[in-house]
Structure 1
Amino acid sequence: MSSSWTFKQNKVFENALAKYADTPDFWQNVAWEVGDGKSVEDVIRHYAKLEKDVDEPALKEMLRHYEELQNRAGGSSSSSRGGSTEAQR
């Protein structure tokens, strides 16, 4: 529906990606959680844009550095959603 996303919608979207990661109706669940008239197609497009943004070299380097810091601190990071196969869920 709408192509613009508010800060709040983005946060709900990001949280929903993690919350519903292994559910059978992943995209439907994410769209439902975001609400505000966002369709499954809207959230898939938004995810594809996020993947593209993450694909930028500077951002990849920043994420690599963040993961190294997390590993040193004893944490783990799951910043990747698995590339284009995720968009096919």
Structure 2
Amino acid sequence: MASWTARQNKLFEEALAIYDRETPDRWHNVAKVVGKSVEDVKRHYEVLKEDIKRIERGDVPFPYKN
């Protein structure tokens, strides 16, 4: 899987907020904003969803600040 820069991740998050599930050609629009292929952004989205599930299940410890 191709690596993503912090900037690309930020653009990805912003594009997801703009192009919601109801947007025609959502993945083409997101890919264009991020500069990745449609396949790359779909794969990245699936990884994000899995990360969220792991966090919600408590599988990922949160760092504590004192």
Q: Same fold (TM over 0.5)?
A: yes
Deviation at 1:61, TM superposition (A): 6.3
Instruction: Give, as a single letter, the amino acid of the residue that structure 2 aligns with 1:30.
Output: V
Per-residue CA deviation, residues 15-63 of structure 1 (Å, 9 max, x unaligned), is 000101131010000000101xx1000000000000110110xx2168x
Q: CA RMSD in A?
A: 1.6
Please say if 1:10 is aligned against 2:6.
Answer: no
How many residues are paired up? 57
Alignment of 1:1-89 (within 5 A): 3-21=2-20, 22-35=22-35, 38-56=36-54, 59-60=55-56
Instruction: Give, as a single letter, the amino acid of the residue that structure 1 aligns with 2:13.
Output: E
Corresponding residue of 1:84? none
Runs of 4+ in 1 over 4 A off after TM superposition: none
Consecutive unaligned residues of structure 2, counting only runs of 5 or more, are 59-66
Consecutive unaligned residues of structure 1, counting only runs of 5 or more, are 63-89
Distance in 2 (alpha carbons) for counterparts of 1:15 and 1:8: 11
User: % of aligned pairs identical?
Assistant: 56
Distance in 1 (alpha carbons) for counterparts of 2:57 and 2:18: 26
TM, length-normalised to structure 1: 0.59
TM, length-normalised to structure 2: 0.79
Corresponding residue of 1:74? none
Distance in 1 (alpha carbons) for counterparts of 2:25 and 2:17: 13
